[in-house]
Structure formats: C-alpha cells, structure tokens
Amino acid sequence: MKKTIATKSNKKTKTFFFLSPFCLLLFSLLPFSVFAQGGITGPLTWNLENDTLTISGRGKMPDYTSPPYCSAPWYNYSITTIIIENGVTSISRFAFVHCFILSSVSISNTVTEIGSCAFAECLSLTSFILPNSVVRIEESAFARCNALTTITNLNPIPVTINPNVFYNINISACTLKVPIASVSAYKKAEVWKEFNIVGIEAGITDPDPKTGSGDQLVLYPNPSTGTCNITIPEEFLFESSLILSIYDNSGKLLQQIPIENEAESFNVQLEHRAAGVYPVVLSNGRKSYRGKIVFK
C-alpha cells in the first residue's frame, strides 16, 4: 500500500516539473504589456495596460536618459497608444523614443513643451495633434518619424523651432493643419512653411443632432439685411478679449473683429457683403463657438 501511494506521488511530481518550464517559456513569450504595469515618475504616475500608456498627475515629466539605457520606466514595453492627461505640463526629452509600434497619441491642452527626441524614431506614427498650449518644441522631437503624413497644430501663433525637429522627414509631403485664420502666418514661418498647409476651424464642435445643443452662437435677426446681433456665450462673459472671424463658404477668411467684452451681445455690419451664407467663429484662443449669418 505504501509503495502504491509513493508511486502516484512521484508521477505528480514529475508532471509538475514537466509543466513548469513549459509555462515559464509560454509566459516569457508574451509581450510585457499583456500585464498591467505602472508606477511613479517625478510628480506624475504612469499606467500601461493592453499596449496603452497613460500619463496622469500634475506637473512636469522628468527628463530621461538616452538609449540604449533609456531611463523612462516604460522604455522596454510594447506601446501602441499614449494618452497624456490634463494636468501634465511637459513631455520630456527621450520620453517615448523608439516606440516603434506607436500609432496613436493624445496630448492634453495643459502640455506646454515637448522635449528633445521625445518621439524620435516612432516609426509607425502617422499623425498627431499639437494642442494650442504647446509653445516650445525642442530639437529632434519628432526625428525619423518617417510615417508621418498629417500634423494638426492648433496654436494660432507658429512656434519658433529648429529645422531638425522633423529631421529625416519629408515635410513637403506632409500635411499641416492649422487654424484657418493662421494659414498666412504659418506660410511665412520657418520650417512650418515647408509643409503642405491646410486651414481648419480648430476647436469647434458640431451641435448634438438630437437636442440641437452644442457650441453654437446665438445670432439675430437671421436672415439679416445688413446688421446682425451676436450673443456672447456665458462661458465667454468674463473673457477680456475675443476674436470674431467671418468666412465665406469656401473657407476664406474675410474679416477678423476684436470684441471688447463689455456687454452680453454685439452687432456685426455686413452691408458691403454680397447676399449669401457667412460662417462666423467667436474664439478666445482656446475654445470656439460658431454660427452662420444669412445675409439677404
């Protein structure tokens, strides 16, 4: 009886030692990011799950050393998506260098600077959006991002940058989308002028099709015979300066009017315009409201 029990025990032991190396090998072949990772870096926290890296907290991201011994805590992990949340004020040097399979980046509008080589050699990155808060981009920030085809820069004022920010990228074949009122400024700015520049209405959202709500201007009377009143949105009532931009239907900027915010509404004169529909945008530089004036 004892001999039989001993034999069964030995079989179990052998089976255990046979499976253990196999399991270890299987786990070693799985990408690191299958498992949730995270920690603290300077005043910020980071979390990596399902190939998505999220940086959160308040303050500046600390600088990291360059490869091959990059000190960014996520450097050796598989990353396809990066989310920089509100409160983070910088993307530091070498932060995401060599994220070869990175394809999506979301940068919050609290980020003011992007450090040198921050996204260098992100070979799968085809597009990204720079919020209007970014006022400094250091050398080689996007060097060798050879797949880039589209950059959206929401800053109405072109940031002065070094040509090597986009080192080894054919920027003349890359589309740069900027606020429509800033197209002429970007076409005169060094480096930026080399891109294929397209104007967009930045920061404007469409109304909800069900409720009709959204970032819409209240205009009256509309249609107009020459003078139209525009109500200042409640969110803008305490803004010291606003800009009203008037466009034609082709998107060409016709006129920009600085608005002194001393009342809850103001009027716009269209006597010298041809009859038609004129898109208008009221902006504080960070957010915009839009509407259409129908002039008959």
The DSSP result for 100-119, as a single string, is: TT--EEEE-TT--EE-TTTT
pLDDT of residue 204: 41
Among the listed residues 152, 115, 102, 109, the one whose alpha carbon sits nearest the alpha carbon of residue 132: 109
CATH number of 218-295: 2.60.40.3080
Whole-angstrom distance, CA of residue 141 vs CA of residue 208: 37
Q: Is domain 32-200 in CATH 3.20.20.140, yes or no?
A: no
Please say whether the beta carbons of 140 and 115 come within 8 A.
no
Beta carbons within 8 Å of 192's beta carbon, 6+ residues apart: 153, 158, 161, 176, 186
pLDDT of residue 29: 44
pLDDT of residue 240: 66
3-state secondary structure of 198: strand
Whole-angstrom distance, CA of residue 111 vs CA of residue 228: 38
pLDDT of residue 258: 78
pLDDT of residue 206: 35
Among the listed residues 246, 211, 216, 221, the one whose alpha carbon sits nearest the alpha carbon of residue 234: 216
Q: Which residues of the chain have pLDDT under 50?
A: 1-34, 203-214
Q: Where are the domains of the chain?
A: 32-200, 218-295
Phi, psi dihedral angles at 3 (to 5 degrees): -65, -40
pLDDT of residue 250: 63
pTM above 0.85, yes or no: no
pLDDT of residue 101: 95
Please say whether the beta carbons of 39 and 49 come within 8 A.
no
Q: Report angle CA 178, 183, 184 to the nearest 5 degrees.
A: 155
